[in-house]
Structure 1
Amino acid sequence: MPDYRRVRVPGGTYFFTVNLLERYPNDLLVRHIDVLRESVRRVRRRYPFHIDAWVVLPDHLHAIWTLPEGDADYANRWRTIKQHFSRAIASTEYRSEVRRRRGERGIWQRRFWEHAIRDDRDFASHCDYVHINPVKHGHAERARDWPFSTFARFVEAGIYTTDWASDPDASVRSGEPM
């Protein structure tokens, strides 16, 4: 097995992809969106972080977080969010023998993908990726139509227009290519 090393930048900004174990077909995250939101709120109270951008899809989510200065422990935050969510919903999922022996639920993939944001351009392109994801996966025709994202916050801040990315031939971000 390769030696996987996570990049840790105290006080850094990170892009994440977190997947359900059984992705297709699965609407668990949007079906239990209130449980997920409460899990995130609970973790943020104990281990603060800023949510820069977020989208929850039926079977996975993408997020951009900025951690407090001197803090690089995003792994504990994700572990705790997953635990809170898993404990709050009924156990109906299939669990492998290994997961049963370990007392684990069969909801989340054990790992997640993280990327340390390098600069403003990297940040902007990952925000675009987060907000276009429901369209990319066929869950909405326009980014503004998907209710489980921070898209509206970006519109309110003047970063996007309400018709952002509605026309694939038009520029998608204040004149910048995606």
Structure 2
Amino acid sequence: MLSPQGNRLRVGRYSEPGRIYLLTVVTQGRRPLLRELRTGRLVVGELRQAEESALVRSLAWVVMPDHMHWLIELQHSTLESLMQRVKSRSAKAINQMQGTQGRVWQKGFHDHAVRQEEDLITLARYVVANPLRAGLVRRIGDYPLWDAAWL
């Protein structure tokens, strides 16, 4: 059964191919499951796989210890199927690597459809600067789990 918040996150959600979205997903209980580089790289692999499968065009992303931000241009998918794919495949890989079972990601995800007047480069910089704001590194170049098309 979905939580009331999970239901609210789905109300009015519309997937428009060619539209740019900022997606955010959080680990179950905000546990820092992705703090190890090899675990984070499993998630990165799924982001890249979604792009290679022509589901999205990745513009920027960052994998933090307990969440992920992903700025995309939606291609041949819906937001729901895209996130279901990335979350389920990465959860399976993480559980397999750690020899565990159970939920890796919280149910649902947050999406923000980017308006045309928003500055994409500024938004991408905001995404990849997450490790700086969290105090994980002093320079973004020191954090290994991010990428952006323009930077």
Query: Which residue of 2 is the match for residue 154 of structure 1?
Result: 150
* 8 A Cα contact 2:25 2:68, kept in partner: yes
Q: What is the RMSD computed on CA atoms of the aligned residues?
A: 2.4
Give the alignment partner of residue 68 of structure 2, picking from 61, 64, 67.
Answer: 61
Structure 1: gaps spanning 5 or more residues: 94-104, 156-178
* 8 A Cα contact 1:19 1:108, kept in partner: yes
Which structure has more strand as a fraction of its residues? 2
For residues 44-91 of structure 1, the C-alpha deviation after alignment (integer angstroms, 9 at most, x for no partner) is 3445210001111111111100022xx561220110111111222335
Is 1:78 aligned to residue 83 of structure 2?
Answer: yes
- Select the structure of larger CA radius of gyration: 1
The whole-number CA distance in structure 2 between the counterparts of 1:140 and 1:15 is 23
Query: Which residue of 1 is the match for residue 134 of structure 2?
Result: 137
Structure 2: gaps spanning 5 or more residues: none
Pick 1 or 2: higher relative contact order, CA cutoff 8 A, min separation 6.
2
3-state SS in 2 of match to 1:32: helix
For residues 141-172 of structure 1, the C-alpha deviation after alignment (integer angstroms, 9 at most, x for no partner) is 12222111115x533xxxxxxxxxxxxxxxxx
* 8 A Cα contact 2:16 2:74, kept in partner: no
The whole-number CA distance in structure 1 between the counterparts of 2:77 and 2:34 is 31
* 8 A Cα contact 1:135 1:142, kept in partner: yes
Give the alignment partner of residue 19 of structure 1, picking from 12, 19, 26.
Answer: 26
TM-score by length of 1: 0.67
Give the alignment partner of residue 109 of structure 1, picking from 106, 109, 120.
Answer: 106
Letter aligned with residue 33 of structure 1: G
Is 1:49 aligned to residue 49 of structure 2?
Answer: no
